[in-house]
Amino acid sequence: MTPKPSPGQLAVAEWRKSRHSAANNECVEIADLGPWVAIRDSKDRRRPALTVKAGSFTGLIAALKSARFTA
Q: What are 1-58's pLDDT values in tens digits?
A: 789 999 999 999 999 987 777 666 678 899 999 999 999 988 888 888 999 999 999 9
Residue 6: what pLDDT? 93
71 belongs to a structural domain: no
**CA–CA distance, 9 with 15 (Å, rounded to integer):** 11
What pairing do the DSSP bridges indicate for beta strands 50-53 and 28-33?
A: unpaired
Q: Which domain holds residue 57?
A: 7-65
Residue 71: what pLDDT? 59
Give the predicted TM-score (pTM) of the model: 0.80
Is 4 strand, coil or helix? coil
2 belongs to a structural domain: no
1 belongs to a structural domain: no
**CA–CA distance, 53 with 42 (Å, rounded to integer):** 20
